[in-house]
Structure 1
Amino acid sequence: MVADTRAINRQHQPLPDQGHHWLFGYGSLIYKADFPYFECRPAAIHGWKRRFWQGSHDHRGTPEAPGRVATLIEAPGVRCVGMAYRIPPEALGPLDLREKNGYLRLTTPLRFLDGGEGRGLVYIATADNPAFLGPAPIPEMARQIASCSGPSGPNSDYLIELARALRALGEEDRHVFALEEAIEEFFPHSTGVVRP
């Protein structure tokens, strides 16, 4: 089910207008920055883990066959690495549109991997949104990802590109990499990862 959060996010102005905001990306925002930004820096947020538990009815799937995309789940003591972008305020409208299917814009402390801290925005799809799919066995999730496609392309491309981007950041994400390995059953050699 599609869950349009644009109106809620427009009402939520969590940071003072200072000419820019930091935005933390942990899914496709790591590798697909189709919005204006001043700079980007690898960063991490703490207390969250990345999971393919959110349904995508508008980008990587359809209302009839939703794909699976990343969201964040609270996990004390866990660090999630991604990319932080310093964006102008006018980028929020297009980002709200891009993340409209269940994602709420929240604020979070950021730690930049090259040193320093800040406060930024992050889009999180929580378990109470109608598009939330929740956990499932890895083979089942991989099968769904392999079979779904939407206006932004195949769901499998989303997963494969995210895995590549995380490797480029030097990040080990067991959940993402387990899904990537499982999807090779459906698309042999598609990931380009050499396994021992």
Structure 2
Amino acid sequence: MSSNTVEHNRRRHDFSGVESIWLFGYGSLIYKVDFPYLEQKPASIQGWTRRFWQGSHDHRGTPEAPGRVVTLIEQPGATCKGMAYRVSPNVFEHLDVREKNGYLRFTTTLTFDDGSEAEGLVYIATEDNEAFLGRAPDAAIARQIATATGPSGANSEYLLRLADSLRALGAECTHTFSVEACLKADA
């Protein structure tokens, strides 16, 4: 699959008659909220874990020197904590472009901190997209992140802001915190 998923996502969901929908953010959507929302609250999804396995050729790196950003990988029993936003469907005009580098919209069940649930959407970059980099040792991921920079800034800023945001949410993410520790150890 092409890494540019804008048109694919626009054909993927029909928002006819929908006034609002929940969106789950687990990466930069936690801390870089450059879209209007109607409501925001912490949430989690089950069966997924956050990994720095997606290449960023358009935001935190370049085609010649891609950065690494997070995607979700299926893992039975895992819980991924993040932030949920109730948004108007027109927000996806912007988000589909922002998340175009290999991310597809999927439907998921969100569990809010009070135990209530709702159906929503989440962007996931699956391994069949051209920008998927896959598994690597945390230290190697940190080295790649340390040297990558793109139009949205240094890849290290993405990692550090995400780690800080996860701590503020009270989220445990061993992988993110390990990559962060490797980055800081090499600094």
Structure 1: segments with no counterpart, 5+ residues: 188-196
State the distance in 2 between where 1:8 and 1:17 align: 21
State the distance in 1 between where 2:73 and 2:152 align: 24
What is the deviation of 1:134? 0.2
State the distance in 2 between where 1:15 and 1:48 align: 25
Residues 32-51 of structure 1: pairs in structure 2 closer than 5 A: 32-51=32-51
Query: Any conservation in 1 of the 2:106–2:122 contact (CA below 8 Å)?
Result: yes
**TM-score normalised per structure 2:** 0.97
State the distance in 2 between where 1:101 and 1:69 align: 11
State the distance in 1 between where 2:16 and 2:105 align: 14
Q: Find the counterpart in structure 1 of residue 155 from structure 2.
A: 155
What is the deviation of 1:113? 1.0
Q: Find the counterpart in structure 1 of residue 185 from structure 2.
A: 185
State the distance in 2 between where 1:13 and 1:88 align: 13
Residues 1-196 of structure 1: pairs in structure 2 closer than 5 A: 3-13=3-13, 17-187=17-187
State the distance in 2 between where 1:47 and 1:135 align: 18
**TM-score normalised per structure 1:** 0.92
Q: CA RMSD in A?
A: 1.4
1:62 is aligned with what amino acid? T
Query: Any conservation in 2 of the 1:44–1:112 contact (CA below 8 Å)?
Result: yes
**Would you identify which runs of 4 or more consecutive aligned residues in structure 1 move more than 4 Å?**
none
Q: Aligned pair count?
A: 187
Structure 2: segments with no counterpart, 5+ residues: none
Identity between Structure 1 and Structure 2 (%): 61
